[in-house]
Amino acid sequence: MKLKQFLSCITIILLVTGIFPLQVFAASDAAMTGDGSPANPYTVMTLEQLDAVRNNLSSHYKLGADIDASETAGWNGGEGFEPVGGNGNASSRFTGTFDGAGHVIQNLTVNRPMTEFVGLFGIVGSGGMIKDVGLVGGSITGNSVTGGLVGYGIAGSSISSSYSSVSVNGSVYVGGLTGRHDGAVSDSYATGPVSGTAVVGGLAGDLEGADVIRSYASGEVNASGGHAGGLAGINAGSTIIQSYAIGAVSGIDTAGGLVGMTDYGLIRQSYASGAVKGSGYAGGLVGSNNGALIEQSFWDQEAAGQSGACGNNTDGYGVTCPSTGLATMQALVPNSYSGWDFTNVWFMIEGSTRPFLRSEWSQRITNTHQLQLMTMNPGVNYTLARDIDFGTVFTDNNRSDMWATRHGEGSGFAPVGNMSNPYVAEFDGSNHLIGNMVINRPATDFVGLFGNLGSGGVVRNVGLEGGFVSGRSSTGALVGESYGGTIAQSYSSVDVSGTNNVGGVVGQNNIGGIVSQSFATGSIAGQYAVGGLVGRNERGAINDAYSTGFVNGISEVGGLAGRNVGSINRAYSVGKVTAAEGSVGGLVGRNFEPVISGRYNSQTSGHGDADKGIPRTTAEMKQRATFEPDWDFVHIWTIEEGKVYPALRDFIGNIGRDVAPPTVVSAVMDVEQPDRILLHFDEEVRLTDADGVMIESDGVGTTIIDVEGESTKILAFTVSDAFEQGAEVIFSYDALLGNIVDLAGNPMSSLAGQIVYKLPVIGIMMKKADASDYENGGWTNQSVTVIANVEAGAGDMAEFFYTLNGGLEQAYTNGSPIVITEEGTNSLTFQVTDRAGHTVSVELEVKIDKSPPSVIYAPSGSETQASSASPTVTADDAASGVNASTLQYVWTTDASPPSSGWTPFVSGTGLAKSGVDGDWYLHIRVSDAAGNESVRVSDRFRLMSRTGSEGGNSGAGGYQLPKGTYLVGMNGGTVTFDGGQIFFPADAISRTFYLKITEVADPNTLPLSDGQRLVSRVFEVTKDQAGEFDKDVSIHLQFDFESVRDEGTEVLLCWLNEETGQWMPLDNRKVDWEKGVAGGTTNHFTKFAVIAVTEEKAETDVRFTDIQGHWAEKSIVELAEKGALHGYTDGSFMPDLEITRAEFAVILVQALDYTDKEGKTFNDMANHWARHAVSTAHAYGVVHGYNDNTFAPDDPITREQMTKMIMNALQLETKPFVRTFADQNKISKWAREAVAAAAESGLIIGYPDNTIRPQAHATRAEAASLIGRLL
């Protein structure tokens, strides 16, 4: 009691004896709107208006904007802002209302160390109210009774929903929010450091009969004398309820984590965790307790370094100190806080944080606590009101903070949102930064500022700087996993580590996720699917983004994305990328989908793969042309060419960020000073000396005696001796030894072998059409492509030309192809002259022979029976000559080429065969020097020692053939038999053969489908030579025309497919109803008959089981009803299945009702089921094949091939592009005009992302849609 009386006396003396300084008033023109009444308060918009509040201390005020008070540091001769009320005058009291309306006053300076009652408000009298205002930055210095917001709050005054983060210094009664308070404090806090002589508290220096509820302090408290407390220095008869302090406390006499000393009063449901040091009484909760009731309150024994709640509990007051001490890990568990309400009052993330007050939560985030409290409700929108900086919270040496984290220990910030409760609202950083955030959870999946961003969730306009993020799978600085969420206009410069799916901004961008206009610069480390921006892009989208940091992993490691199964549009990366094994790439580690307009730095990344983004040099990456035309440099991107990489416009932390090293544009000899070379850079550079630089002349190092250039784009190096004329001069640079940097400090990379001058060297590459190498002067049967390239001195070329076969000199562009197709010996000469007048030439010889050797038999077969045969065989080649080592022959009884038994022989010799009866063929194979091969077979030689048997037809030797057997020669002819006729064109087959025609005795055993019936006799036709005919033969059969004249019956000449049991119509069918003859063509023999088919009305209601609701449903049904396309036996259509070139040709021919017409039969279509349709399409000019021999019928058709066929069918005039597609540069040259015409006519419309995807495989639905639009 005596102590309380003593302190009260000190207070009265200070009030009575205060000095009254001359006040400085605001300018008269600082008028405010409003009348100062409660209903219409004065609105404070400027610092001058704030300064004028002291002119009327009983009025009501409201902040209408944030106030920047930086200039107050120079006010009043360095004393700064004059407090409103007080300021040494005990009778000057603010008794009105000051409503901050959520605004802040920034960087306020009050520097009055000899003045009492100091703060923004010196004294707030009874009835005075301060609410909803923040004091950020700056400093408050006074003498006695000094606080950040209020010096002295008299009984009846109140502070609510307010805070101060300024540093506060004074002597006695010093507090972070208020120096002394006798009124009420609610829902308020202070975070700045507080220091004084005595009675010093993080929130309040002295509480006299005050009521404090739901408030906290986190600043460090230092008292050189006694009574220091984390929340209050002294609690004299006051109540402290549901409040906490986490700052470190240091005092001499009494020091407590929450309160330094009590004199009666109440402390209920409160806690402290700050480290406490004191030479007198020191306690984890209270330094010295003198009669205060302490209920349901706790302290962290480990963090505080105090084993007892109270350093002293004075006897005689009849109370104890019953607080509970907790170990740090216990302090992170709700069950440790017995009796506390975690539903309405408190909130904590078990195992991750200490208890927060639920009243701290706000959708408008102003501090680190509120940032963490987004976890309370991940379903609402949040906005950053200012930059959020964790400072040293996670990296200091104590665990007293809300996350119990210090350097090397603790988990740090707890991610917002998880798999079961993802963040699904909008977080708008408002272009603010979050600084020094640490997440250290290497055993946890889905780690980032947001652990899980759900569908519809948005994170935008925020940057992360400082700190680090460590997790396990799906770890990113900003988002661990985005499943359908959006990340936009955001970035991170922090380092990230994890195992799988690790990225600089987001670990995994899952189905539907979007990352746009964002970037990352931190180093990224993981194991699998590791990327500078995104670890794994799984059916998500990355648009207009980049990364610059070092990326390291085991496999699927990329500068931008580790694994891409989604879309990447307009993105780049420049960081170094390393992987222990497996897939790795400068832009994408492992790619499954096309990368649209992606670039990466091949020099800094250490990679050069071109199938996952386009590699470019550092110099190229600093040029706008490298990214155009696909990139928008008007609205999205900007670039300072030659100096920095592209940057995103109007974006925090982005403009002016320079990580691009300088590059050498050229190195040339100074023509005026032959002892000096000039090094040209793409941006200004500087260096201190020539360390790391080497200049060689014809392989010999030179001595550098001078270097010129500072903050310039040209460095000049002078050597001791002038370079000899024509000498090869090379410049090299070792970055480890050198000091060439740009003005941003980025070091130049090492450079080896930069040519300053070298005699031009013409490099020649010669390739055959099959891409194999061609040797100069050798024979080949293919066209040859020749490419010349001046490998050194290319920039000094004065003239470069070529001549072909002695023709005129023609200008040649370095690296352009010359294709030689003319047969014979072709001479080709290249000649280059540099600017120094030196001339170098190369002469080449290209020999082409495409004609195979000729083979002459004398004779070629004999149908006359003989006991032996000995034809003379001569091989000749007029161009490249016969390769004698390839001459081989073999006798066989089969006209088909054998695989073995070949014997060498000499051209012009007789090759005898005797002693064996039968039909014999002489096979010859020979190649010329160009590789053209001839494989020939003679006509038949008939060897037998006796005549043939009785027969129905005459054989070549005069003997009678069996009945139904006919001899057919190479000149063809007509075979007439009872029931029909067969016509053979000349050269239908390359040898004489026997034909046998047999009527099927019992046709009833043959299969027939519903609606089919036989209307003719059935004949089986065979021949004694295997294989199909080289030309189709015509078959005509008589049929019973009287029985099929009914309407609705179709007559077809068919052949029986023995494998399927179906009768197949012949090609080129014709019916002569007058004569009762049906005809057609075929290239093989089997059973033949005339089939009558009863036609049924086509089903108009075509239904497939899998097209309902499909975007192409209408086109599919229309073509199916037309009979142009069909489904599968299970009733499905499979619209998204790829369609082959042959299938599309068949559908097109049927849809356009083309009649059969004989066109080209490609080599790979001879036995194909669709050969007739493709041949018809060729005849109508619809298809052309890959070349003269190849159609590739079973290849999936591409969208550009499909479009080309359609335009061929339409025969419309082609035209150049008017509409621009994002990927039109990928359209093959041969298809460009067709695609352009189709686009202009509306046949094709492209995809929603403005791409045409010309190389993509077309589906059955797309084919139906396109043909439907055609019709």
Domains located in the chain, CATH noted: 2-22+45-336 (2.160.20.110), 379-619 (2.160.20.110), 664-757 (2.60.40.1220), 762-848 (2.60.40.10), 854-943 (2.60.40), 953-1094 (2.60.220.30), 1113-1270 (no CATH)
**Which pLDDT score, from 0 to 100, does residue 1060 have?**
84
Amino acid 987: pLDDT: 83
Q: What is the DSSP letter of 567?
A: E
User: Above 90 in pLDDT, residue 1258?
Assistant: no
- pLDDT tens sequence across 228-238: 999 999 999 99
User: What one-character-per-residue DSSP string does 136-164 give?
Assistant: EEEEEE-SSSEESSEEEE-TT-EEES-EE
Q: What is the pLDDT of residue 497?
A: 98
Highest mean pLDDT of the ranges 480-489, 695-704, 936-945, 1008-1017: 480-489
**For residue 444, pLDDT beyond 50:** yes
Q: What is residue 1249's predicted lDDT score, i.e. its pLDDT?
A: 81
User: Per mean pLDDT, which range of 178-187, 447-456, 844-853, 1105-1114 is the poorest?
Assistant: 1105-1114
Q: How far is CA 666 from CA 713, 731, 756, 761, in A?
A: 11, 10, 8, 19
Share of the chain above pLDDT 70, in %: 92
Q: How far apart are CA 1166 and CA 1155, in angstroms?
A: 20
What pLDDT band is residue 647 in, cutting at 50, 70 and 90?
Answer: very high
Out of 437-446, 450-459, 1068-1077, 1176-1185, which region has the weakest mean confidence (pLDDT)? Answer: 1068-1077
What's the mean pLDDT in 209-228? Answer: 97
Task: Compute the average pLDDT of residues 999-1007.
Answer: 90
Mean pLDDT, residues 486-513: 97
pLDDT at 949: 31
The closest alpha carbon to 850, from 1184, 1188, 1163, 1190, belongs to 1188
Tell me the range of 596-605, 1160-1169, 1257-1266 where mean pLDDT is highest: 596-605
Closest of 556, 496, 485 to residue 520, by C-alpha: 496
**What local confidence, expressed as pLDDT, does residue 726 receive?**
67
329 pLDDT tier (thresholds 50, 70, 90) = very high
User: For 219-233, 484-498, 793-807, which range has the lowest pLDDT when averaged over its residues?
Assistant: 793-807
Between residues 814 and 1, which one has the greater pLDDT?
814
- If one compares 1232 and 519, the residue with the highest pLDDT of the two is 519
**pLDDT at residue 361, rounded to an integer:** 97
The pLDDT assigned to 23 comes to 30
Residue 201: beta bridge partners?
175, 229
Task: State how far the Cα of 240 lies from the Cα of 203, in Å rounded to an integer.
Answer: 12
Over 80: is that where the pLDDT of 953 sits? no
d(Cα 92, Cα 123) in Å, to the nearest integer? Answer: 7
Q: How far is CA 46 from CA 24, 33, 899, 1176, in A?
A: 17, 12, 101, 86
Q: What is the pLDDT of residue 350?
A: 96
Q: pLDDT value at position 27?
A: 37
pLDDT tens digits, 516-568: 999 999 999 999 999 999 999 999 999 999 999 999 999 999 999 999 999 99
Mean pLDDT for 202-220 is 98
626-648 average pLDDT score: 93
pLDDT category at 8 given cuts 50, 70, 90 is: very low
pLDDT above 70: residue 1102: no
Once rounded to an integer, what is the mean pLDDT over residues 376-404? 95
For residues 638 and 634, give the distance between their C-alpha atoms in angstroms, rounded to a whole number: 7
Confidence of residue 654 (pLDDT cuts 50, 70, 90): low
Sorting pLDDT into bands at 50, 70 and 90, what band is 1222? confident
Average of pLDDT values for 572-598? 95
Q: How far apart are the first and last CA of the chain?
A: 104
Q: Residue 1047: which pLDDT band, with cuts at 50, 70 and 90?
A: very low
Specify the higher pLDDT residue, 141 or 1168: 141
Query: How far is Cα 429 from Cα 721, in angstroms, rounded to an integer?
Result: 62
In the predicted structure, residue 1132 carries a pLDDT above the cut 90: no
Mean pLDDT score of the chain: 89
Please state the φ and ψ torsions of residue 558, each to the nearest 5 degrees: -140, 155
Determine the pLDDT at residue 917.
Answer: 81
SS3 at position 30? coil
Three-state DSSP at 99 gives: strand
Provide the token pair at 825.
Answer: 């010996």
For residue 266 the two structure tokens come to 């109440």
CA distance 1088 to 1052: 11
Give 265-291 pLDDT, tens digit per residue.
Answer: 999 999 999 999 998 999 999 999 999
Name beta bridge partners: 180: 152, 206
| Cβ neighbours of residue 510 closer than 8 Å, sequence gap 6 or more | 481, 482, 483, 484, 536, 538, 539, 540
Instruction: Summarize pLDDT for 19-63 with one digit per residue, the tens.
Output: 333 333 333 345 899 999 999 999 999 999 999 999 999 999 999
Confidence category of residue 623, pLDDT binned at 50, 70, 90? very high
What lies within 8 Å, CB to CB, of 1000 at 6+ separation is: 1006, 1017, 1018, 1019, 1020, 1087
Asked whether the predicted pLDDT for residue 454 surpasses 50, the reply is: yes
pTM recorded for the entire structure: 0.61
Rank 14-23, 645-654, 1035-1044 by mean pLDDT and report only the highest.
Answer: 1035-1044
Q: What secondary structure, in 3-state letters, does 1003-1067 show?
A: HHHCCCCCCEEECCCCEEEEECCCCCCCCCEEEEEECCHHHHCCCCEEEEEEEEECCCCEEEECE
Q: Is the pLDDT of residue 922 over 90?
A: yes
Q: What integer pLDDT is reported at residue 284 of this predicted model? A: 97
Whole-number pLDDT of residue 14: 39
Reduce the DSSP state of residue 244 to 3 states and report it: strand
pLDDT (0 to 100) of residue 760: 75
**The pLDDT value given to residue 432:** 95
DSSP 8-class letter at 904? E
| More confident site: 1114 or 906 | 906
CA nearest 352: which of 328, 318, 374, 368?
A: 328
Q: Is the pLDDT of residue 177 over 60?
A: yes
Task: Give the mean model confidence (pLDDT) for residues 95-100.
Answer: 98
